[in-house]
Structure 1
Amino acid sequence: MIFDFLFPNRCLDCNQLIDKRDIVCELCLDKVNFSNHNYFDTNSLIEKASLQIPVENAYSLLIYEKESLAQKIIHQLKYNHREKIGKILANWVTQRVDLSKKKPDLLVTVPLHYKKLKQRGYNQLHLFSNQLSAYYQIPVHHTLLKRIKHSRAQAKKNQSERLKTKNAYQLTENINGKHILLIDDVYTTGNTISNIAWEILSNSENVKISILVMAMDI
């Protein structure tokens, strides 16, 4: 109560006081650039991802552009200790995506290297994916993949640096015969998702890959 009084929750865009469970006010919510993708149909994300990996389905909640409200939201989640934003983004997903048909078998999050996890204090995907797991009744696996190479945050890299994450991930157990829904925050070059997908596909049999991201950089 005292914390809420001293540090009231404000809209990320207009700075108006809002409920502590929200991140933007109702007026500014209209400024959020939702993708309007359909998870089961062709969309710009699946078209881009299919150039690198075999993809069953794909969905991006937001369109990520510089100086946009979507960028503010993601940056607050990742770099300003606003971990609970993940729950709000997950709720936005569940309002827009029905996974009842062709339901994935397992939700898998992109891991952080232990150094980055220690520095940040949390993986920004965990609350997000846990909320999705509870809603859709699909198990989530946070340790199926291990990050074995440490690098700077994607947002701080140039394009050539983003393409140098090959062999950065390692599969920790067998997942033959599963339909995996890979979960990440922002899809940029697709290099992270591609490397993870090929690590899974190269070390497993009869596996299908789908993608769900918080935002897609156009």
Structure 2
Amino acid sequence: MMLDILFPNRCISCNRIIEVNLLVCPLCMEQIRFTHTGYSEDSFMKQKCKLLFPVENAFALMNFEKENVSRSIIHDLKYRNRENIGKILAEWTAGRLDFRYGKPDLLVPVPLHPKKLKERGYNQLHLFTEILSSFYDIPFDHDLIRRNHYSKAQALKDKQHRLETGNTFSITKNISGKHILLIDDVFTTGNTLATIAWEILSAGNNKVSVLVMAIDE
């Protein structure tokens, strides 16, 4: 109680004092552009994926906009040691994601390189994935995909370097006949997800769907 008084929870965007279990204040919540498109719909997200790899379904929770609330949320999740944001985003996602037309067999988050994981202390996708796994009763695997090369954050790379991801990922286990839901934080060029998707598709008679916290239009 004393810590709540001395260090109250504040809105991630405007810094107003808010309830301890909230992420943003009601006013900033209204500024978040949720996509409002279904997992199985022929959405903008799905069309972008289709240009890169065969995709079953695709879902983005929010639009990722410059100088907006969604960008602040993702930035704090990744770079300010606020892993618990993943739990809140998973709760927002669980209220909007409908698997009635194609429930996946396995949830797989995009991995960090071990060096990056040690530097950050956590993978920003793990808690998010685990909450969704529990909510939908779908198993997850944090170790199915291995990132082979250490590199600086995507946000710090120019566009050309973002497109250079050859041999970046590999599959660590034998998988076949599975519908894999790949999970990432932000869809930008889609190159990371495409690289992983092709590894999964090449590993056996598998299908791939995609879920991201936000899509950069």
**TM-score normalised per structure 2:** 0.97
Match of 1:70 in 2: 70
Q: Where does the alignment leave 5 or more consecutive residues of structure 1 unmatched?
A: none
Mean CA deviation greater in 74-83 or 95-104: 95-104
- The amino acid that maps onto 1:115 is K
Deviation (angstroms), 1:144:
0.2
Mean CA deviation greater in 6-15 or 142-151: 6-15
Residue 24 in structure 1 maps to residue 30 in structure 2? no
- The amino acid that maps onto 1:80 is R
Deviation (angstroms), 1:50:
0.4
Match of 2:164 in 1: 164
Counterpart CA distance in 2 for 1:124 and 1:5 is 28
Residue 57 in structure 1 maps to residue 57 in structure 2? yes
Contact 2:109 2:182 in 1 (8 A): yes
Q: Where does the alignment leave 5 or more consecutive residues of structure 2 unmatched?
A: none
Counterpart CA distance in 2 for 1:194 and 1:19 is 39
Residue 180 in structure 1 maps to residue 180 in structure 2? yes
Counterpart CA distance in 2 for 1:198 and 1:82 is 31
Match of 1:97 in 2: 97
Deviation (angstroms), 1:169:
0.6
- The amino acid that maps onto 1:74 is I
Contact 2:16 2:25 in 1 (8 A): yes
Match of 2:216 in 1: 217
Percent of residue pairs bearing the same amino acid type: 54
Deviation (angstroms), 1:71:
0.2
Mean CA deviation greater in 160-169 or 125-134: 160-169
- The amino acid that maps onto 1:213 is V
Counterpart CA distance in 2 for 1:54 and 1:184 is 17
Match of 1:136 in 2: 136
Match of 2:11 in 1: 11
- The amino acid that maps onto 1:102 is G
Deviation (angstroms), 1:100:
3.4
Match of 2:33 in 1: 33
- The amino acid that maps onto 1:50 is K
- The amino acid that maps onto 2:73 is I
**TM-score normalised per structure 1:** 0.97
Counterpart CA distance in 2 for 1:200 and 1:3 is 46
> SS in structure 2 opposite 1:209?
strand
Mean CA deviation greater in 94-103 or 109-118: 94-103
- The amino acid that maps onto 1:70 is S
Contact 2:38 2:98 in 1 (8 A): no
How many residues are aligned here? 217
Aligned counterparts, 1:149-160, within 5 A: 149-160=149-160
> SS in structure 1 opposite 2:133?
helix
Deviation (angstroms), 1:10:
0.4
Deviation (angstroms), 1:14:
2.1
Contact 2:40 2:101 in 1 (8 A): no
> SS in structure 2 opposite 1:75?
helix
Match of 1:108 in 2: 108
Deviation (angstroms), 1:8:
1.2
Counterpart CA distance in 2 for 1:193 and 1:40 is 18
Residue 207 in structure 1 maps to residue 206 in structure 2? yes
